[in-house]
Amino acid sequence: MTEATGTAPRKRLLIRTWGCQMNVYDSARMADVLAPLGYAPTEAAEEADMVILNTCHIREKATEKVFSDLGRLREAKQAKGGDMVIAVAGCVAQAEGAEITARAPWVDIVLGPQSYHRLPEMVARASRAAGAVIETEFPPEDKFDHLPETTAPQGVTAFLTVQEGCDKFCSFCVVPYTRGSEYSRPAEAVIAEAKRLVALGAREITLLGQNVNAWHGEGPDGRAWTLGRLLRRLAEIPGLARLRYTTSHPRDMDDDLIAAHGDTPAIMPFLHLPVQSGSDRILKMMNRGHTADDYRRLVDRLRAARPDLALSTDIIAGHPGESDADHEATMALIRDTGFAQAFSFKYSARPGTPAATMAGQAAEEVKDSRLAEIQALLRDQQAEFNRSRGGMVVEVLVTGPGRHPGQMAGRTPWLQPVHFDGLANLAGRIVPVKILAGHPNSLSGAMAAPVNTEPRERPAA
Ligand code: SAH
Ligand code: SF4
Ligand code: F3S
């Protein structure tokens, strides 16, 4: 680890992160890149020498938040006599580029998600240059080859980006434009990073990608690997107890990946599989490449491979052209599938996407009432799923102390947060917990005897 003492003056870095887990991962990498320059983290804008806003462009609201935050930062920068580097990173930076500095001239750096390895050079240029430094090309070199290895201690759970970008071009979505085309990191690099994360304390790793199950690459054996093979290999890493991956596209759920859910115990029985709509007409307009029944059949196959699999999804309410009947079809699909958790959104028109100019844009009130109906149903399903765990003894990965003294917090295999009475210092262990109650968003329980505090054995190959 590079120490920030000695020659380099100590500087304070504030990173604010919006959007998906890939942004969370990227923010950590940006902190890694800047650490050798003497930047240490702070939470307070007033004392920051550098502020990075790592932004999300997915819906209009997300984008607007960035500009209101920039307004507040302007004052903080003025209060410091201008002595603050302000950078806008992430998907708004990629989409808006120089528009950002036109609207907020106090911004020094605008950089897209493929440019993070160039931050040190950009910071140096920004301190020399009179104007802003803008970098939103998709450079041909691979940023992953240029980013430093993480040395920061990890929590019990860690993210690992294995895939970036998207070639699917769903009608409503900005991601193909902000993250570029699909790219998979080589298997060797992923395995090495996973080993490093485990050595630094991670027991659960979530593989990340905008289309994580489209991941493919050459394995160490010289063969073409897809995600199922990669997960099986990662499951062999001693000390790595749990694996997850997100976000998946229904079209890329291949036979081997489905089978891996059945034969690889480290893969947790929880899958986020966005469906967006239950109407074939709307799914077609969305360019999703699957029907509602394709999705139902896929869920059946997954549950056949792993009967205790719980599902999560994303739903959009009010895509252009959506009729009452289409909305009812979405409600029916939700009812038929039964989700343990879900995210649902009001359709938000994004500039440059095909849906933004389609006929039949829905009125706000229509979108609001459909979303409310969808969310009520999803809330009931989640509460029901949580209640259904009551009385079970489940394996909980302890993540740290709970809210109250004498309490620990952890996660079930199905990603539910659990609070339970138990001894301290069990973080990183997997312990049996008897679930006493299921609440709308979490579970509570008590440690069940006997306590197995040994790290879980790696699953048999
Ligand atoms: N690759 C991921 C996409 C991440 S975006 C995936 O396919 O799931 C996360 C979710 O945001 C999407 O699944 C979609 O439900 C929602 N979303 C994307 N664009 C949107 C828009 N214009 N309006 C409303 N919701 C949107
Ligand atoms: Fe967006 Fe569709 Fe790609 Fe997901 S699959 S990132 S929703 S274009
Ligand atoms: Fe948002 Fe970009 Fe992620 S638009 S959801 S931060 S890929």
- Percent of the chain whose pLDDT exceeds 70: 94
Given the CA of residue 353, which atom of ligand 1 is nearest to it?
22
pLDDT in tens, 17-32: 999 999 999 999 999 9
Instruction: State the Cα–Cα distance between residues 371 and 392, nearest whole angstrom.
Output: 33
pLDDT in tens, 99-144: 999 999 999 999 999 999 999 999 998 888 777 888 888 765 677 7
Structural domains in the chain, CATH included, are: 11-135 (3.40.50.12160), 144-387 (3.80.30.20), 393-447 (2.40.50.140)
The pLDDT value given to residue 141: 62
The pLDDT value given to residue 7: 53
Given the CA of residue 166, which atom of ligand 2 is nearest to it?
3
Which ligand neighbours the alpha carbon of 166 most closely? 2
312 lines ligand 1 (CB under 6 A): no
Give the residue among 317, 336, 312 at the shortest CA–CA distance from 276.
317
The stretch 427-434 carries a mean pLDDT of 94
210 lines ligand 2 (CB under 6 A): yes
